[in-house]
Amino acid sequence: MHQEYTVVEGDFVNAGKASSSVKKTLKQLNVNPQVVKRVVVALYEAEVNAIAHAYGGKVLVDIDADKIKMVVADKGPGIPDIALAMQEGYSTARPEVRDMGFGAGMGLPNMQKNVDKLNVTSEVGVGTTVEMEVAF
Amino acid sequence: MPNSQFSIFNSQFKMFYHALQIDAPRCIGCSRCMKICPTEAVRIFGGKASIQEHRCIDCGKCYEVCPAQAIGIKDDDFEAIHRYPHSVALLPAVFMGQFPDEVSVSRVYASLQELGFAHVMEVESAAMIYADAKNRYAHEHPDVRPLISSFCPAIVRLIQIKYPSLTENVMPIKVPLDLSAMYAVEELVSRGIPREEIGLFYITPCAAKIAAVKAPVGEERSLIDGVINMNLLFNRVYKHIKEMGKSHQYKPLSRQRLSADAILSTLTNGERRICAAKRSYAIDGIENVMDFLDKLENDEVEGVEFLELRACDQSCAGALLSYDNRFLCGERMYARARKAAERERNGEMPRDREMEKYRDYLIDHSLVDEVQPRSMLVLDEDRVKAFEKMEKIERMKTHLPQIDCGVCGAPTCEAFATDVVCGRADLHRCVFYRLHLEAKGKMTLGEGRSNMYSVWGDDRISGEIDV
């Protein structure tokens, strides 16, 4: 099953639309509630990241009977040093984003913690793609 | 027709006791209950409402809107109290909030005894011990946050069916009703009264509490012997007071029964104001609670330690069987609490403090089993089958009108599609789909009409309308 969502730059009001919809789907599939939670937390982080740092992007979700694959692909400044961005507390968020309670530098580490597979690819000046996979 | 997979569910659903039931002969099939149900548990078929048991949390929204009084509450008969020489009325504090100002607490207590109860006790007597038990649990489980109060049984059931990942956050702790029941038994037995002569009767302000007593979550069975409808008891007590007249001599209470904190504990913020947590929220009204839990489930709320969640607006003052206006009832409780606080400042110890000597015993026996999820959303326990069903539902949804008109007898197009795929409804109940088939010549008008009648009954339209 394939689902697609659009992420708009700076639109924090609509953050969580994709993760909420995915949450409902996984509940219907009788996925273990704790696994649902991990998926939702990771996807929400990725959504917020794209909203906060990029100029918008897309969330692509593919669900089958035993796993979920999520791709959050944004057009944006890209991440120059992915290894550095994976460290807890490292953040490049603008002050106004931090004031909203986002951008604490926990995004990528939190995704890593919650998913089975995480792959981040990025090109500076073009954008970032976060691929995540969780087995049920 | 129900398929085999659904019947497996069906046998499982039968385990869920419900205090609300539809009285079919009275039901006029108006569908108000279907439209208001927060968990989409109601369907219409054959001109009558019915409840999907696996979705119902006994919140009672349907009861409030029913214009035909066709939703019944499975309470017990008042006369049952006479079977026990030592019948105990376990009252919720909101019961006192029903009476006009001139009726004093001691008058209500005395009336209940004159009506046949050997003992009267307000369940909030255990409110402070409940608070201590929760604080202890919080201390012993530092990794589980936020902790959710077990107080409101409709909320506990809501979390089980709709927010299964949060069941482990619900504190598995006996509520004041059960703690005070334990106390009543211990205290009366210690006075030499044989256990079998003690009958415990809870005066319930809502349907969810009945379900909680008859089918407790996390416990084998409750100590409570019967549940009496608070509206009915209010009528009896008020009638008694009116009949006895102003000159009747009531036995006065030696001192106040509840502390101010205990009186306020069933109102919104009542638990929150006396809990040890740093950041906590008190949320009342089931829609507000669902909004919040949706956010919480996504981990969008940070640092929250404790949640007091109540299904009814204004908490128990707004309960189903609270006869008076929720704000009037709430203010009377505040007035009583102000008086109680004043007397406490003057050094008077309220009676509920006597429970202190049982504190350790009660707290040690306050734990119940962990709350288990029983998700209503699961399409099939077999994930591959669930997946197939979901794809069918998604496909069907694109053909349905998506206006949630309810003419099919389900509250939304999505609920209808789910019912069809799970074998609980026939696709031809959709009026738009029927029109489409009729226009294509694939269904006769007569067939369409009998489909309509199957949902709404055959007496909805009596003829041409001449305006």
Q: The tokens of B159 are what?
A: 């979390």
Q: Roughly what angle, to the nearest 10 degrees, separates helices B431-439 and B445-456? A: 170
Phi, psi of B211 (to 5 degrees): -60, -40
Domain ranges across chain B:
17-74+378-456, 78-364
- Provide the greatest CA pair distance for chain B: 85
Q: What percent of chain B has pLDDT above 70?
A: 97
Confidence band (pLDDT; 50, 70, 90) for B3?
A: very low
Q: What is the Cα Rg of chain A in Å? A: 14
Q: Quick one: which of B388, B394, B369, B424 has its CA closest to B160? A: B369
**Residue B34 and residue B51: Cα distance in Å, rounded?**
9
Distances (CA, A) of B446 to B330, B442, B458, B463: 55, 12, 12, 15
pLDDT score of B27 more than 80: yes
pLDDT score of B1 more than 70: no
Which range is least confidently modeled, B331-340, B345-354, B386-395? B345-354
pLDDT score of A103 more than 70: no
Return the exposure string of B131-146: e unless at least 16 CB atoms fall within 10 Å of the residue's CB, then b.
bbbbbbbbeeeeeebb
Rounded to an integer, the average pLDDT of B323-348 is 95
Residue count of chain B, please give it. 467
pLDDT at position B2 is 35
Would strands B280-284 and B119-122 be described as parallel, antiparallel, or unpaired?
A: unpaired
Amino acid at A47: E
Beta bridge partners of B42: B51
Residue B45, classed as helix, strand or coil, is strand
Q: The tokens of B404 are what?
A: 């949630």
CB contact under 8 A, A65 and B383: yes
Kindly report the number of other CB atoms within 10 A of residue B303's CB atom: 8
Rounded to an integer, the average pLDDT of A23-32 is 91
Q: Are A45 and A57 in contact (CB under 8 A)?
A: no
pLDDT at position B243 is 94
**Residue B59 and residue B117: Cα distance in Å, rounded?**
29
What's the gap between Cα B170 and its chain centre? 16
pLDDT at position B11 is 39
The fold for domain B17-74+378-456 equals Alpha-Beta Plaits (3.30.70)
| Contact residues, chain B, for A30 at CB < 8 Å | 375, 378-381, 383, 386
Inter-chain Cβ pairs, chain A and chain B, closer than 8 A: 64
pLDDT score of B235 more than 50: yes
DSSP readout, B312-348?
STTGGGG-TT--S-HHHHHHHHHHHHHHHHHHHHTTP
User: Going by C-beta distance under 8 Å and a sequence separation of 6 or more, which residues neighbour residue B215?
Assistant: B15, B16, B17
Rounded to an integer, the average pLDDT of B261-289 is 96
A1 touches B: beta carbon within 8 Å? yes
Confidence band (pLDDT; 50, 70, 90) for B195?
A: very high
What pTM was computed for the model? 0.89
Shortest Cα–Cα distance, B403 to chain A (Å):
19
B377 touches A: beta carbon within 8 Å? yes
Residue with tokens 């009204």: B285
pLDDT at position A88 is 77
In a mutational test of the B interface, the residue from A2, A28, A32, A67 whose CB has the highest number of chain B CBs within 10 Å is A28
pLDDT score of B53 more than 50: yes
Q: The tokens of B215 are what?
A: 């089918």
ipTM: 0.75
Domain ranges across chain A:
2-135
Beta bridge partners of B201: B89, B226
pLDDT at position A106 is 66
Q: What percent of chain B has pLDDT above 90?
A: 81
* pLDDT tens by residue, B336-362: 999 999 999 999 988 888 888 999 999
**Residue B283 and residue A82: Cα distance in Å, rounded?**
41
Query: For residues B11 and B438, which has the higher predicted lDDT (pLDDT)?
Result: B438
pLDDT score of A100 more than 90: no
pLDDT at position B298 is 81
| Contact residues, chain A, for B295 at CB < 8 Å | 16
The fold for domain A2-135 equals Heat Shock Protein 90 (3.30.565)
Using the 8-state DSSP alphabet, how is residue B33 labeled?
Answer: H
| Contact residues, chain A, for B379 at CB < 8 Å | 28-30
pLDDT at position A102 is 66
* pLDDT tens by residue, A118-133: 999 999 999 999 999 9
Handedness of CA A50, A114, B166, B277 (dihedral sign): negative
CB contact under 8 A, A33 and B386: no
The DSSP element (H or E) to which A5 belongs, if any, is strand A2-7
Which range is least confidently modeled, A88-92, B90-94, B318-322, B391-395? A88-92
In a mutational test of the A interface, the residue from B39, B165, B414 whose CB has the highest number of chain A CBs within 10 Å is B165
pLDDT at position B14 is 44
Instruction: Name the burial class of residue B46, with classes exposed (0-12), middle (13-18) and buried (19+) by CB atoms within 10 angstroms of its CB.
Output: middle
pLDDT at position A90 is 75
Side by side, the strands of the sheet bearing A57-63 are A2-7, A57-63, A67-75, A127-135, A117-123
A30 touches B: beta carbon within 8 Å? yes
Residue B47 φ/ψ region, left for φ over 0, alpha for ψ in the -120 to 50 degree band, beta for the rest = left
Quick one: closest CA in A to B379, which residue?
A28
Q: Are B62 and B20 in contact (CB under 8 A)?
A: yes
Mean of pLDDT over chain B: 92
B302 touches A: beta carbon within 8 Å? yes
| Contact residues, chain B, for A19 at CB < 8 Å | 298
Q: Quick one: which of A79, A83, A73, A70 has its CA closest to A117? A: A70
Rounded to an integer, the average pLDDT of B17-44 is 96
Amino acid at B77: D
Confidence band (pLDDT; 50, 70, 90) for B198?
A: very high
* pLDDT tens by residue, B97-108: 999 999 999 999
Q: Are B266 and B241 in contact (CB under 8 A)?
A: no
